[in-house]
Structure formats: structure tokens, C-alpha cells
């Protein structure tokens, strides 16, 4: 029984190696190109600003004041154009 198990393991390893080599050859045959894209990304970010009140902070942030505290998660991504 041990001999049969060893033969099965050896066969499985040989087949896996053969498949990996075949896949590597297929990838090498394909010619890859570099493409450039225009992508519109919408993120939710955390910003901070020094102010005396929440209303003042809102106004300052709306004017572009303050600093990004943390780069947030991407909530929307739209590919506009793809070129070679």
C-alpha cells in the first residue's frame, strides 16, 4: 500500500511540474503590451483643519484649507479611456 501511495504522489508531482512548465511556456509566448488609461477615482478621505467651530471648519475645508489626515478607501472607479 505504501508503494502505491508513493507512486501516486510521484505521479501527481510530475504532472503538476509538467503543467507548470507548460503554463510558463504559454506565458512566454504571449507578447505583453503596456497600456495607459485615464481613470476617474472617487475616495472617501479623512481631513483635518484648525478652527474655532465646526461651521468654520466646514467653510475652511470647502475652500481647500486643511490637510489630508488619511487616504481613504476607493468607493468608485471608472475607466475613461485605454490607449497603447
CB 58 within 8 A of CB 78: no
CB distance 80 to 40 below 8 Å: yes
1 bridge partner residues: none
Query: Is it the case that residue 15 has pLDDT exceeding 60?
Result: yes
Rounded to two decimals, the pTM is 0.46
pLDDT at 44: 92
pLDDT of res. 27: 62
Q: What is the pLDDT of residues 34-81, one digit of tens each?
A: 899 999 999 999 999 999 999 999 999 999 999 999 988 889 989 998
In the predicted model, is pLDDT for residue 2 greater than 60?
A: no
Position 30 scores a pLDDT of 78
Amino acid at each position: 500500500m505504501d508503494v502505491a501511495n508513493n507512486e501516486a504522489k510521484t505521479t501527481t508531482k510530475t504532472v503538476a511540474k509538467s503543467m507548470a512548465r507548460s503554463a510558463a511556456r504559454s506565458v512566454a509566448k504571449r507578447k505583453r503590451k503596456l497600456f495607459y488609461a485615464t481613470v476617474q477615482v472617487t475616495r472617501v478621505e479623512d481631513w483635518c483643519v484648525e478652527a474655532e467651530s465646526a461651521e468654520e471648519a466646514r467653510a475652511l475645508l470647502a475652500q481647500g484649507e486643511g490637510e489630508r489626515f488619511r487616504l481613504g478607501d476607493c468607493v468608485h472607479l471608472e475607466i475613461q479611456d485605454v490607449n497603447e
